Structure 1
Amino acid sequence: MRFEPLRTAQRAALMALACLALAAPAQAAPEKVLRYAFPVAETGFDPAQLNDLYSRIITANMFDALYGYDYLARPARIKPVLADGMPVISPDFKTYTVKMRRGIYFADDPAFEGRRREVTAADVVFSYKRIMDPRNKSPLVSGLEEEKILGLSELRKKALAGDARFDYDTEIEGLRALDRYTVQFKLGEPRPRFTLTLADPGIFGVVAREVIEKYGDAIMEHPVGTGPFMLKEWRRSSKITLVRNPGYREQLYDAQPPANDPQSQALAAKMKGRRLPMIDRVEVSIIDDPQPRWLSFLNNEHDFMERLPENFATHAIPNNKLAPNLAKRGIQMERVPLSDIRMVYFSMLNPVVGGYTPEKVALRRAIALAMDSKQEAQLAMRGQAMVAQGFIMPNTNSFDADFRSEMGTHDRAKAVALLDMFGYTDKDGDGWRDQPNGQPLELVYDTLSAADYRERDEVMKKNLDAVGIKLQLRIGKWPEQLRNSRAGKLMMWGYGLSASSPDSAGVLALGYSGSFGQQNHSRFKNDKFDELYRQQAVMADGPERDAVIREAVRIMIAYMPIKVRVHRIGTDMMQPWLLGYKRHPNAREFWQYVDIDTDRLPQK
């Protein structure tokens, strides 16, 4: 083979092409954006102040806790996040010592004055103390008090005793930074499941003191964490935009799926070793009406439908199978029982429905028996729920699928007999029952205007009409209802609760007197229940503890301060370009584990 020198003209042409190539800007990779909608508005983004699921989803993806959950492990498995390994636990379950990872930094913020700010053990101490500061009015106070962290409640009591500010600088025995990277918790009683408390970034995410002090009362709109995403824009009750945290540590995809789940096994193999997060941006819209939320997904405006609205189940998943037209488009679905309950509570302080006398208990039991949860699950919710027999949620340790109780019973004849027996009869001939004292019996139930709520409310109203009880549906907005409920201003309210850990007993806070105005919206108080609640907290997992939990549940069922209606079944739907999604029964921080295949995005 013979090579010949290039001619002058050829050399000039090649040089010109090279210059053009150097001058042309490199084509940027398309931005990977996850778009979806919440059905309920957020309240803000300060972990210590939150009591609603949707705000906690946002904070769980911006903040880190000491521990979290393996994304694919089932049953749920705890893993270190800010911690460097699992805690060292004393034999009596009273001391938990946690070593922290070094070199993890908060997202950049003016509060740090241009410095990279490493997270330390002192930040963990400060973050837990914040919950107890009366200025923050945290709904988490009672839950943290139950952990019996030595000296923490005393700090709060001192601040409540007068005008003194909460003392963050006094060291307490139960919550100490032993050195820059070691935090120790000492508890007044055994807490075998305390690690679960350390594993929820949505509410126990670690914050920096400088940030809290800089933004003060505006901290709900200035979240700064160590997590994979950071807040870019917030239009209240409309749209929340988050972007990848450019200073996020090197974190690689690593999950341990069960051996009997080939789908999760394949997912783990495909994603293993990828750097997290895989997407650049998350755009969350607030769309409370299910129809426009569903249409946004169908029109490719959203990549993900978190829980298909029940109104469209018969069209989208007939017989709980993906509709052929959606399957043809490559849309994917995942359908799983949720670790949750939907319920209606009765304010125990309300003169109409509250109280502990026999006639008041009979009224609440009659209302519960009149409500047909099966009809609600099958008709209003199109089969996307199952009747709840009690408070214990699916996918939690003590759940018993064979348990049956009056909570899950619909018996109109028994409801009528109870009402008649205790004097709730029609005394003025207007067709509606009156109270035993002759005053009108009218229930006021606060609810939302969205179509899915309307259908469920219609079932409840028809059920109560059928036994002669008048029900007024009072329409409002979720954030206002939440505030009014915590202040004890509502007679009846319906809402949902999701488990944040695999422990069954968390739901019992709904009836614990120490949780008034926080988890215990109904303000139910029963000494035996409180005793059982405290007893199970110090017990190791096992049949004995399960029996104590069941006994506490029976007390709640007997007094009926809350009517648990259903456990929902969640059907999540994904566009073909959304990769890697798997619903976790407890964790909410899934954004970092999903990817967008930009080559499959529809052309605009």
Structure 2
Amino acid sequence: MACAMSCGGVAIAKSPAQPNKVLNLAFEAPDDGFDMVKTYNFYSGNIAEVIFEPLLKYDYLARPVVLVPNTAQAMPKIEQEGKIYTFKIRPGIYFSADPAFKGKARELTAQDYIYSIQRISDPKNRSPAFNFIDGKIVGMDQAVANANKTGKFDYDAPIAGLKALDRYTLQFTLTRPDYNFQYILAYVAFSGTAREVVEFYGDRVGQHPVGTGPYQLSKYVPRSKIELVANPEYRGFVWDFKSTGTAWDNKLVKQMSGKKMPQVGKVTVSIIEEEQSRWLAFKSGQLDFDKLTSNAVPQALNGNQLKPELQKQGIQHFPNKDAEITYTMFNMKDPIVGGFSLDKIALRRAISMSYNQTEAIKQLYKGQAVKAEMFIPDGVQGNNPKYRSSVGYNPLLANKLLDRFGYKKGKDGYRTLPNGQPLTLRYNTENSSSSIIHSELWKKNLDAIGVRVEFKVSNFADNMKEAMQCKYMMWGGAWIADYPEGENFAQLLYGPNSARGNLSCYQSKAYDALYDKAMVLLPEKRLPFYEQMNRQIEADNPWIVHTTRVRNWLIHPQVQGYKAHPMMNTTWQYLDVQPVKK
């Protein structure tokens, strides 16, 4: 474990960031605002992670991942075998200046964390993060029930399981032991939030994020550009992490040890959805680092090694197998592909068996991915590396299954529904070269079983909005671990989370019963239930589980300190930028 500053030690009075040090980056899809209570958009989370601060964070270098204090003075005092968590918050942490504070300095307190959890629990916010704490905090179920009855959440009513014992002491009392709870509290949605800010901006608070973290929003052009500058109120820290013994870590420790952080004074993020444009922007030096686009893999890599011409430019290569899965979702409320009748299950199963994962890995990811067997990925507790899916590529059997359940082929070669009506799938997608390849693969695979498909091209944020309202038919998704335990993935198909985290709107009594049984157990005893949940997914097919991707991060030589993290999406506060040598 890294100590000193990574464990919440010596702080610096004011941010040491230097305005002339700028990071230029890109996202391949737009955010949908930065109120993480109301979204789990990956790109929104990237920005929110450097604006807001949870009680705990992850050590930057340690692998396997290790939690360390952030705004807390120390790791929590845990009592009654994981039922009571008590935190001491460090005094002297301040929110960035904002008109909501009317010219006064605003200190972070225990109540700010209580308020965040209240907002997550408020039914009107329909928070996708609520599933992390649903049924876990003593008294919260009643508060939610009262809000549903009256139409308004009472933010001033006491909740037995959420207490500010004093200005800086915060205590959680859970309904049952939960050793994952401290990992949940490290997720950005559970950061301290100033009530004045939310009430000042109202529905616009997602465009006016105000936190205690190292950066603050300075410019925001939705779906185009985001600019952040160093938060002058941020306390700063000293880069003092311990190497895990790898050559990469040793280099970072040599470069960075002892530096006052953050060093970078400004971060600009451009939304560049087209892969070729993003690759050209990186090659020309307009982007300081980026993950290698699939189409550019042949140009940049020989096998898994960076090509010599890029090495000569000083470009660094950091391959990282994400703790993630990619998948295709069916909307279980859709009249064509949803439902649990045998003919609907047969249709989803046939579609699943039509998809050629091997070809997709070759064409879509240029070999930089591996087939996922479980809905819980490698690197997350609950994954069984010996597990094998019962649903494989088999277009011959898929055709027989559709024949058996009355999906007849017409003269044009395409099938109808059992009632004789036309069968056309609608697949939501985005406007990028990789999306075009994915669409072509889907059309080829579905043509082989006689199923017509149309593609609705939109953008990620709008597709997410439709999914949150259960108003789509099919869409591709990915989930990167927020914390290293299978619950983080299992909750994505839990019935009560429909239209929040559960974008398939899947409601299975069998799956939910397995989930409920698993959640009362210690994490290390949940594996058999996760395996049974996976079998239930294979039986009902609300998802088609696809791959885990390998992200090849390319970093220009002026960037120092970079290492991809399995749980943290944003590492800008740990980096330095040196002048570019001509």
After TM superposition, the score normalised by the length of structure 2 is: 0.94
Q: Which residue of 2 aligns with 1:342?
A: 326
Q: Deviations 1:163-213 (Å, cap 9, x if unpaired)?
A: 4x3211111101110111111111112212100111112x22211112112
Which residue identity lines up with residue 266 of structure 1 in the other structure? K
Residues 1:160 and 1:29: Cα distance change in structure 2 (over 3 Å): closer
How far is the alpha carbon of 1:566 from its aligned partner? 1.2
Is residue 2:219 matched to residue 1:233?
Answer: yes
Residues 1:29 and 1:379: Cα distance change in structure 2 (over 3 Å): closer
Q: Which residue of 2 aligns with 1:295?
A: 280
How far is the alpha carbon of 1:93 from its aligned partner? 1.6
Which residue identity lines up with residue 297 of structure 2 in the other structure? A
Q: Which residue of 1 aligns with 2:163?
A: 176
Matched residue SS, 1:472: strand
How far is the alpha carbon of 1:29 from its aligned partner? 7.3
Measured in 2, the distance between the counterparts of 1:91 and 1:265 equals 40
Measured in 2, the distance between the counterparts of 1:251 and 1:49 equals 30
Q: Which residue of 1 aligns with 2:6?
A: none
Matched residue SS, 1:195: helix
Is residue 2:522 matched to residue 1:533?
Answer: no
Matched residue SS, 1:31: strand
Q: Pairwise mapping of residues 323-338 of structure 1 onto structure 2 (< 5 A)?
A: 323-338=307-322
Alignment coverage as a number of residue pairs: 566
Is residue 2:396 matched to residue 1:413?
Answer: yes
Is residue 2:559 matched to residue 1:571?
Answer: no
Is residue 2:135 matched to residue 1:154?
Answer: no
Q: Which residue of 2 aligns with 1:39?
A: 28
The answer to whether the Cα contact below 8 Å between 2:428 and 2:475 also exists between their aligned partners in 1 is yes
Which residue identity lines up with residue 531 of structure 1 in the other structure? A
Q: Deviations 1:555-604 (Å, cap 9, x if unpaired)?
A: 11111110011111101110011111100011123110111011xx155x
Which residue identity lines up with residue 502 of structure 2 in the other structure? N
| The one of 191, 197, 208 aligned to 1:222 | 208
Q: Which residue of 2 aligns with 1:124?
A: 113
Measured in 1, the distance between the counterparts of 2:72 and 2:140 equals 22
The answer to whether the Cα contact below 8 Å between 1:192 and 1:539 also exists between their aligned partners in 2 is no
Q: Deviations 1:373-428 (Å, cap 9, x if unpaired)?
A: 11101122101111111201122122233321134x211212122112222221x3
| The one of 540, 565, 569 aligned to 1:584 | 565
| The one of 306, 317, 321 aligned to 2:305 | 321
Measured in 2, the distance between the counterparts of 1:466 and 1:348 equals 24
The answer to whether the Cα contact below 8 Å between 1:369 and 1:406 also exists between their aligned partners in 2 is no
Q: Which residue of 1 aligns with 2:468?
A: 486
The answer to whether the Cα contact below 8 Å between 2:94 and 2:108 also exists between their aligned partners in 1 is yes
Is residue 2:166 matched to residue 1:185?
Answer: no
How far is the alpha carbon of 1:134 from its aligned partner? 3.4
The answer to whether the Cα contact below 8 Å between 1:381 and 1:456 also exists between their aligned partners in 2 is no
Q: Which residue of 1 aligns with 2:459?
A: 477
Is residue 2:344 matched to residue 1:360?
Answer: yes
| The one of 413, 424, 430 aligned to 1:448 | 430
How far is the alpha carbon of 1:535 from its aligned partner? 1.8
| The one of 524, 530, 550 aligned to 2:506 | 524
Is residue 2:411 matched to residue 1:424?
Answer: no
Which residue identity lines up with residue 42 of structure 2 in the other structure? L
Which residue identity lines up with residue 588 of structure 1 in the other structure? N
Residues 1:415 and 1:153: Cα distance change in structure 2 (over 3 Å): same
Measured in 2, the distance between the counterparts of 1:50 and 1:349 equals 21
Q: Deviations 1:442-499 (Å, cap 9, x if unpaired)?
A: 1111111200111112111101111111111111122111111111110111121111
Moved more, 387-396 or 225-234: 387-396
Residues 1:503 and 1:29: Cα distance change in structure 2 (over 3 Å): closer
Measured in 1, the distance between the counterparts of 2:318 and 2:357 equals 24
The answer to whether the Cα contact below 8 Å between 1:200 and 1:587 also exists between their aligned partners in 2 is no
Matched residue SS, 1:170: coil
Q: Which residue of 1 aligns with 2:5?
A: none
How far is the alpha carbon of 1:438 from its aligned partner? 1.4
Measured in 2, the distance between the counterparts of 1:30 and 1:192 equals 41
The answer to whether the Cα contact below 8 Å between 1:60 and 1:205 also exists between their aligned partners in 2 is no
Is residue 2:294 matched to residue 1:310?
Answer: yes
The answer to whether the Cα contact below 8 Å between 2:18 and 2:264 also exists between their aligned partners in 1 is no
Q: Which residue of 2 aligns with 1:4?
A: none
How far is the alpha carbon of 1:313 from its aligned partner? 0.5
Which residue identity lines up with residue 70 of structure 1 in the other structure? D
The answer to whether the Cα contact below 8 Å between 1:372 and 1:410 also exists between their aligned partners in 2 is yes
- Unpaired segments of 5 or more residues in structure 2? 1-16
| The one of 501, 510, 530 aligned to 1:549 | 530
Matched residue SS, 1:246: coil
The answer to whether the Cα contact below 8 Å between 2:78 and 2:86 also exists between their aligned partners in 1 is yes
Deviation beyond 6 Å, 4+ runs, structure 1: none
Q: Which residue of 2 aligns with 1:267?
A: 252
Measured in 1, the distance between the counterparts of 2:153 and 2:342 equals 44
The answer to whether the Cα contact below 8 Å between 2:485 and 2:523 also exists between their aligned partners in 1 is no
Measured in 2, the distance between the counterparts of 1:571 and 1:359 equals 42
- Unpaired segments of 5 or more residues in structure 1? 1-27
Residues 1:358 and 1:225: Cα distance change in structure 2 (over 3 Å): same
| The one of 244, 260, 263 aligned to 1:278 | 263
| The one of 252, 268, 271 aligned to 2:238 | 252
Measured in 1, the distance between the counterparts of 2:431 and 2:259 equals 43
Measured in 1, the distance between the counterparts of 2:498 and 2:240 equals 41
Q: Which residue of 2 aligns with 1:369?
A: 353
How far is the alpha carbon of 1:31 from its aligned partner? 0.6
Measured in 2, the distance between the counterparts of 1:50 and 1:43 equals 8
Measured in 1, the distance between the counterparts of 2:457 and 2:191 equals 34
Measured in 2, the distance between the counterparts of 1:228 and 1:436 equals 58
Matched residue SS, 2:526: helix
Q: Percent identity?
A: 37
Measured in 2, the distance between the counterparts of 1:444 and 1:588 equals 31
Q: Which residue of 2 aligns with 1:7?
A: none
Q: What is the RMSD of the two structures over their aligned residues, measured on CA atoms?
A: 1.6
Matched residue SS, 1:446: strand
Measured in 1, the distance between the counterparts of 2:83 and 2:241 equals 30
Is residue 2:131 matched to residue 1:142?
Answer: yes
Measured in 1, the distance between the counterparts of 2:46 and 2:450 equals 41
Q: Which residue of 2 aligns with 1:399?
A: 383
The answer to whether the Cα contact below 8 Å between 1:47 and 1:205 also exists between their aligned partners in 2 is no
Measured in 2, the distance between the counterparts of 1:457 and 1:318 equals 27
Q: Which residue of 2 aligns with 1:97?
A: 86
Measured in 2, the distance between the counterparts of 1:39 and 1:246 equals 29
The answer to whether the Cα contact below 8 Å between 2:361 and 2:370 also exists between their aligned partners in 1 is yes
Measured in 2, the distance between the counterparts of 1:418 and 1:397 equals 35
